[in-house]
Structure 1
Amino acid sequence: MIVAEVVRSGFVESVHHGVVAVPGGESLGDVTSPFFPRSSSKPLQTVGLLTSGLVPREEADLALMSGSHDAEPFHVERVRAMLAAAGLGPEALRCPADLPHGETSRRDWLRAGGEAEPILMNCSGKHAGMLATCVVNGWPLESYLEVGHPLQKALADAVSRLSGEPIAALGVDGCGAPIFAISPLGLARAFRALVDAEPGTPERRVADAIRANPELVAGTGTDDTVLMGAIPGLLVKKGADGVAAAAMPGIGAVALKISDGAARARGPVLLAALRRLGVEVPDVLPEVVLGGGLPVGEVRATF
């Protein structure tokens, strides 16, 4: 079990238990019980879009479909272009209205008089990809988020195939789309399948698009963007509730879930897990705890 301790002024403030799975190596904690991977499963669903006949405008669009973007201007314009290429407009999106997730983008949007819109929601790239896939197949657009829709059945099949296990449960993610429960081991297995796939396959296309365009997966200066920029070949995607998955070709993969859902412990635990796997990881994610704007402690991953 990896434990991330939040040490403040010499005292342990709280302890977050993380679950890490390393296929072909060690597993720490409970790696077989199903959980909802949240946005960490988006790359797997993008594979499902490709196997369902999606022809992206550009390969870079696959990164945005797999991402949880900050709604920076370049994110929003790309989502508009993806929808337009499918003959659709932003009104086709069924994700909830939101404001830009990134602080700077949100401030600029509000100063310009903007309001919450579905296209600003951090899952709008995924939804645009879903809609484009429905157009290709002639599937209904209004109901594309329903569990029984052909699109969602195809995505569930992709997640099950890549994880190597059946879907344990169905839920509804924050964006309104179905979310499929698998185990941490299954999530790690799926990420390894993406990076170790043959070039040109749907799996490898998604992995390559994400790694070539990390800023489309999240945003400028975010954890996923920074990590993939600092570690060549690394594929990583975080999710809500303290979830993260990462893989290196030819080495393996890790998946983790912070049991109390705290995001603060996720970065240190992920870096520790990657190092345990044998990946050379620089200290690129902040682990400092601030009090009054000054460093008063740090988050440390321990075994």
Structure 2
Amino acid sequence: MTSPALVQIPAPPAPTQLPQHAPLAAQTRDGLIESVHYGSAVAVAPDGGTLLAAGDPLAPFYPRSALKPLQAVAMVRVGLVLPDELLALAAASHSGAARHRDGALRILDLHGLTPVDLANSSDLPYGTREREEWLAGGGQATQLAQNCSGKHAAMAATCVINGWPVRGYLDPEHPLQQLVAGTVAELTGEDPERISTDGCGTPLFALTLRGMARAFGRLAADDAGGAEAAVARAMRRHPEMVAGEGRDVTALMRLVPGLLAKDGFEGVQLVGLADGRGVAVKISDGGDRARMPVTVRILDALDVDTTSLAPLATSPVLGGGRPVGVLQAADFLAAETSNAHAQ
């Protein structure tokens, strides 16, 4: 009998190449720790100095959709003018509700464009309820339903405004993407460690949590009336356009006055506070459920009143339909402080 051929499995990266994440959240079931979520987090002061940190906040990571407010700032700087609800949609990972799809169409129509001009990928609505309603009505995956359609409509519109070709607007060498790259570098204070492609097709920059936290602090604190202030104002006024009803990011901005928030796929959460402080969280396994409990824990450590955020800080674990445990943030800040004193 012939022996089966051996499959060559690539060697894993050396341990020194792996981010040194810390345990940020844990799920318990009847007092036993059932699951642990590792990750990294940082909070920065208005001057960019580190206020608190856990894990490896200087390891490069992809912010994913948390880049959208920075991309929106770049577009506003070169002439994109939209009503606040549509500018918020330009910075959105929306749920795909009718208001989101119609909003993307409005952006296109205002600039003589149609859905044919969109270059993002096609998808079903991101929100669970929105997806079910869409499918029940016979809907299929489309570019308008995809959660980044507002950003892409705004990108195509920005090209029209500046006389740039709409076709090819996702090319990293396109004037629009060159503008975005420069704006991201300016706001984060970093050159990207590398560049990839996001799920919707836009160029994606590998940055650090510290750099992204710095950028969100700048957006949230800018009161000079510039592009940063315009984007932050739109997002705060219309958090339902940034995410959607029933989404934790929408709830977070509604519950904490002046707070700016944006999530990203693969366990990313960014927050900017009105006083210029910024927070960045990355859950290492890419899971979504630990992102908000960890964020609320950091906000509490920064003396933000988190009383109203209790529903976001924990999630019940059910057994037989009744609560038998909880998902909550670990005491990672105390652990980091102890490690620092030990060194």
> Structure 2 length normalisation: TM-score?
0.85
Tell me the equivalent position of 2:151.
126
Tell me the equivalent position of 1:17.
38
TM-fit CA distance, 1:251: 5.5
Q: How does 1:160-239 map to 2 (within 5 A)?
A: 160-239=185-264
CA–CA separation in structure 2 for the residues paired with 1:289 and 1:35:
30
Tell me the equivalent position of 1:6.
27
Identify which of 69, 80, 83 aligns with 2:94: 69
CA–CA separation in structure 2 for the residues paired with 1:111 and 1:167:
42
Letter in 2 for 1:185: R
Which deviates further from its counterpart, 113-122 or 284-293? Answer: 284-293
Letter in 2 for 1:41: L
Greater C-alpha radius of gyration: 2
CA–CA separation in structure 2 for the residues paired with 1:249 and 1:54:
24
Which deviates further from its counterpart, 285-294 or 256-265? Answer: 285-294
Tell me the equivalent position of 2:8.
none
Alpha carbons of structure 1 residues 2 and 22: separation in structure 2 relative to 1, 3 Å: farther
RMSD: 1.4
Residue 82 of structure 1 pairs with residue 103 of structure 2: no
Letter in 1 for 2:188: S
CA–CA separation in structure 2 for the residues paired with 1:111 and 1:54:
36
CA–CA separation in structure 2 for the residues paired with 1:75 and 1:171:
27
Identify which of 24, 44, 56 aligns with 1:30: 56
User: Which blocks of at least 5 consecutive residues in structure 2 are unaligned?
Assistant: 1-21, 46-50, 333-343
Letter in 2 for 1:7: T
Letter in 2 for 1:157: G
Q: Contact between 1:4 and 1:301, CA under 8 Å: does it hold in 2?
A: yes
Letter in 2 for 1:231: V
Which deviates further from its counterpart, 273-282 or 183-192? Answer: 273-282
Tell me the equivalent position of 2:318.
290
CA–CA separation in structure 2 for the residues paired with 1:290 and 1:92:
46
TM-fit CA distance, 1:62: 1.4
TM-fit CA distance, 1:113: 1.7
Larger relative contact order (Cα-Cα within 8 Å, sequence gap ≥ 6): 1
Tell me the equivalent position of 1:136.
161
Q: Contact between 1:199 and 1:205, CA under 8 Å: does it hold in 2?
A: no
Residue 109 of structure 1 pairs with residue 134 of structure 2: yes
Cα shift readout 1:188-245 (whole Å, capped 9, x = no counterpart): 0000000111241100111111011000001001011111111111111111000001
Alpha carbons of structure 1 residues 141 and 271: separation in structure 2 relative to 1, 3 Å: same
Which deviates further from its counterpart, 286-295 or 273-282? Answer: 286-295
> Structure 1 length normalisation: TM-score?
0.96
Alpha carbons of structure 1 residues 176 and 292: separation in structure 2 relative to 1, 3 Å: farther
Cα shift readout 1:250-277 (whole Å, capped 9, x = no counterpart): 1611101011111111111011011111
TM-fit CA distance, 1:2: 5.7
CA–CA separation in structure 2 for the residues paired with 1:104 and 1:259:
27
CA–CA separation in structure 2 for the residues paired with 1:71 and 1:291:
32
CA–CA separation in structure 2 for the residues paired with 1:182 and 1:145:
20
Letter in 1 for 2:329: A
Q: Contact between 1:287 and 1:298, CA under 8 Å: does it hold in 2?
A: yes
SS at the partner of 1:244? Answer: strand
CA–CA separation in structure 2 for the residues paired with 1:219 and 1:61:
14
SS at the partner of 2:292? Answer: helix
CA–CA separation in structure 1 for the residues paired with 2:76 and 2:137:
37
Tell me the equivalent position of 1:39.
65
Q: Contact between 2:220 and 2:276, CA under 8 Å: does it hold in 1?
A: no
CA–CA separation in structure 2 for the residues paired with 1:271 and 1:148:
39
Alpha carbons of structure 1 residues 2 and 207: separation in structure 2 relative to 1, 3 Å: farther
TM-fit CA distance, 1:296: 3.1
CA–CA separation in structure 1 for the residues paired with 2:171 and 2:153:
16
